[in-house]
Structure 1
Amino acid sequence: MAWDIQLGVRVLEGVEAKFYLNAMRFVVEYLEEVEELGDELDAETGDSRTERLTPTHLRRSQF
């Protein structure tokens, strides 16, 4: 992994690279799981009405 930054090229190696790749793998797996749920997501609101949630709503609320 390498990025151009103001101080030159930043290269991730060893532990940093493993950490970055594991974090990216976790995020991709999580988003795939949320996407699989699709339209099956319902949430009860405070006024006893059912509101439809989409994976996009969940992603916004998580981050």
Structure 2
Amino acid sequence: MRVELDEPKCVAAGQCVMAAPDVFDQRDEDGVAVVLDEHPGAELLDGVREAVAICPAAAIRLVEE
């Protein structure tokens, strides 16, 4: 699985960071999300799926490879 983030769509709500802090962070200057781990392990996928579901901008995708 690969995490994709559409940065221009991100509204800097930080929900992804709260759902999956090992996978997402936010830039200090504007709060836009960044992906820390594009290929998270199985133990992190529940948090990533939650981040995808609660992202207010629908800026996150989880892609099967």
Judge same fold: TM > 0.5, yes or no.
no
Q: TM-score range with shorter-chain normalisation? A: under 0.3
How does the TM-score come out when normalised to structure 2?
0.25
Q: Which has the higher contact order (CA 8 A, sep 6+)?
A: 2
How does the TM-score come out when normalised to structure 1?
0.25
